[in-house]
Amino acid sequence: MKLLVTGGAGYIGGIVTRMLVDAGHEVVVLDDLSTGHTEALAPEATFVNARVHDAAQVLTPAAGFDGVLHFAAFIAAGESMTRPELYWENNTVGSLALIDAARAAGVRRFVFSSTAAVYGNPTELPIPESAVKAPTNTYGATKLAVDMALTSEAIGHDLGAVSLRYFNVAGAYLRDGVQLGERHDPETHLIPIALQVAAGRREKLQIFGDDYPTADGTCVRDYIHIEDLARAHLLALEAARPGEHRIYNLGNGNGFSNRAVAEVVREVTGRPVPVEIAPRREGDPAELVASSDRARTELGWTPAKPTLHDMVGDAWAFYRSQILEKA
Ligand code: UFG
């Protein structure tokens, strides 16, 4: 297929592009490099430096695209509470422009990076796709708005849409001499920050809140390996059917508290990770754990690296070789 990948210079978009190219697809990456890195770009893909808002420049009827995979977004849940306008403009307004361009270009398949954050504080655990959607942060709200727009688009204009609701993505892609991993600046995610502490690049790990209604009082998240997540995108692309909006949660069904994550980072790195309890971060749900039964049944998706040790191990290997040694 000929595919447009937005956000293909990012952590997840870059790795999915690598796998799409390896599977024989023709890929055009659209990314404004606002948070992405040219190192993450697959050399076989054509790169266009532009915002998603301007996707119509590339996504023309004559270009013959079969599908769009839409990753480009701002992703920091904490920041989305202090600078919400950035998130609405980039994530929601940008996505609506992209959907308009896809419609005008006659694109039939659309795979969207949605999020577990759409559920807010879940009313049932593990969370099925049918659970109540009540985001507690702006980030989740901006993604839920796009999910709803895709449902309308599928019904009204026969789009084949798939939303993948990621739980917490971790690990790296380390194959055939290619090393792709997480590299945000500033880093906001728990595992890469804990690795910076283990590497001595940061004094301590601040854990945001230990008074949540969980076993040890810290928030609980369900981690998924980037390779398993990426593979689900290729399956979703094949599964897209005109007139249907399919939605799949992607996680392993295991919850790890923030304290437990720090402990796994200590075990994997063999280094100390000093922890300090800090105030809660605005908008954080207490516990997010996925039911991915639907993805397993309908997409035939099976995670190959379900353990947190595998994820932290791969993230640590990437961090040491690509960040510490090149600094
Ligand atoms: N946390 C800390 N200290 C830090 C960083 C994070 O205690 O320095 C905590 C957070 O408060 C939260 C947990 O670690 O309790 C995980 O936080 P992350 O920022 O790593 O991830 P989030 O759960 O906020 O969000 C991530 C992605 C979203 C995705 C979501 C799905 O950023 O894009 O997972 O669950 F949608």
Residues 90, 146 contacting (CB under 8 angstroms): no
Q: How confident is the model at residue 252 (pLDDT cuts 50, 70, 90)?
A: very high
Catalytically annotated residues? 139
Residue 21 pLDDT:
98
Q: What is the pLDDT of residues 259-315, one digit of tens each?
A: 999 999 999 999 999 999 999 999 999 999 999 999 999 999 999 999 999 999 999
Question: How much is the mean pLDDT over the chain?
Answer: 97
Residues 119, 135 contacting (CB under 8 angstroms): yes
CA of residue 280 to ligand 1 center, whole Å: 12
User: Ligand 1: does its nearest atom lie under 6 Å from the Cβ of 98?
Assistant: no
d(CA 282, CA 97): 29
Q: Residue 147 pLDDT more than 90?
A: yes
CATH class of 2-170+224-250: alpha beta
User: Ligand 1: does its nearest atom lie under 6 Å from the Cβ of 110?
Assistant: no
Give the ipTM: 0.96
Residues 235, 294 contacting (CB under 8 angstroms): no
d(CA 72, CA 70): 6
User: Ligand 1: does its nearest atom lie under 6 Å from the Cβ of 189?
Assistant: yes
CA of residue 81 to ligand 1 center, whole Å: 13
User: Ligand 1: does its nearest atom lie under 6 Å from the Cβ of 258?
Assistant: yes
Q: Is 106 left (phi over 0), alpha (psi -120 to 50) or beta?
A: left
Task: Domain 173-221+253-290+305-324: give its CATH code.
Answer: 3.90.25.10
Q: How confident is the model at residue 185 (pLDDT cuts 50, 70, 90)?
A: confident
d(CA 220, CA 305): 19
Q: Using CA positions, which residue lies closest to atom 1 of ligand 1?
A: 190
Residue 324 pLDDT:
83
Q: What is the pLDDT of residues 62-111, one digit of tens each?
A: 999 999 999 999 999 999 999 999 999 999 999 999 999 999 999 999 99
Reply yes or no: is the peptide bond before residue 126 cis, omega within 30 of 0: yes
- Ligand 1 atom at minimum distance from 143 CA: 36
Q: Which two tokens stand for residue 185?
A: 């600046």
Q: What is the pLDDT of residues 208-224, one digit of tens each?
A: 999 999 999 999 999 99
Q: How confident is the model at residue 325 (pLDDT cuts 50, 70, 90)?
A: confident
Give the type of residue at 253. G
- Ligand 1 atom at minimum distance from 281 CA: 11
| pTM for this predicted structure | 0.97
d(CA 309, CA 115): 23
% pLDDT > 70, the chain: 100
d(CA 238, CA 74): 27
Average of pLDDT values for 191-197? 97
Q: In what order do the strands lie in the sheet with 2-6?
A: 46-49, 26-31, 2-6, 67-70, 109-115, 160-166, 245-250
For residue 325, with 0-12 CB atoms within 10 Å meaning exposed, 13-18 middle and 19 or more buried, which class applies? exposed
For the chain, the structural domain boundaries read 2-170+224-250, 173-221+253-290+305-324
